[in-house]
A and B are shown apart, each in its own frame.
Chain A
Amino acid sequence: MSSHELKTGPLEYRTEEGRLTILGFWIFLGAEIVLFATLFATYAVLFGRTADAPSPGELFEAKTLMIMTFMLLTSSFTCGIAIHEMRRGSVKGLRNWMIVTLLLGLGFLGFEIYEFIHYAHEGATLQSSAYWSSFFTLAGTHGLHVTLGIGWVTLLLIQLTQRGLTPKTSRKFFVIGLYWHFLDVVWIFIFTSVYLIGMVV
Chain B
Amino acid sequence: MTDHKKRIPTQHIIGFFLSITLTLVAAWAALQSDLSVRWIIIGIMALAIIQAGIQLFMFMHVVEPESQGGHIPWNMMFHGGVLATILVAGSLFTMSFGFSHDHDGDGHNQQEQQEEHSEMEDSTEHSGH
A residues in contact (CB < 8 Å) with B: 9-10, 13, 19, 22-23, 26-27, 29-34, 36-38, 40-42, 44-45, 48-52, 55, 62, 66, 69-70, 73-74, 76-77, 79-81, 84, 87-88, 131, 177-178, 181-182, 184-185, 188-189, 191-193, 196-197, 199-201
Nearest A residue to B72 via CB reads: A23
Closest 7 CB pairs of A and B: A33-B80, A37-B84, A30-B76, A48-B105, A26-B73, A196-B30, A87-B4
Interface of B: prevailing SS:
helix
The residue that A40 contacts in the complex, of B56, B84, B103, with Cβ under 8 A, is: B84
B80 engages A34 (CB within 8 Å):
yes
B23 engages A37 (CB within 8 Å):
no
Assess A73 versus B4: contact at CB under 8 Å? Given A184-B55, A192-B45, A192-B47: no
Assess A81 versus B20: contact at CB under 8 Å? Given A26-B73, A41-B88, A200-B41: no
21 CB < 8 A contacts A-B: A9-B66, A10-B66, A26-B73, A29-B76, A38-B87, A41-B91, A44-B92, A45-B92, A45-B95, A48-B103, A51-B107, A73-B23, A80-B12, A84-B4, A84-B12, A131-B105, A185-B52, A189-B48, A191-B26, A200-B40, A200-B41
Chain B residues, CB < 8 A from A51? 107
A34 to B104, alpha carbons, bound, how many Å? 29
Tell me if B60 is interfacial: C-beta within 8 Å of chain A.
yes
A113 to B15, alpha carbons, bound, how many Å? 29
The residue that B41 contacts in the complex, of A66, A84, A197, with Cβ under 8 A, is: A197
A12 smallest CB distance to B (angstroms) = 8
A58 to B75, alpha carbons, bound, how many Å? 41
A26 to B51, alpha carbons, bound, how many Å? 19
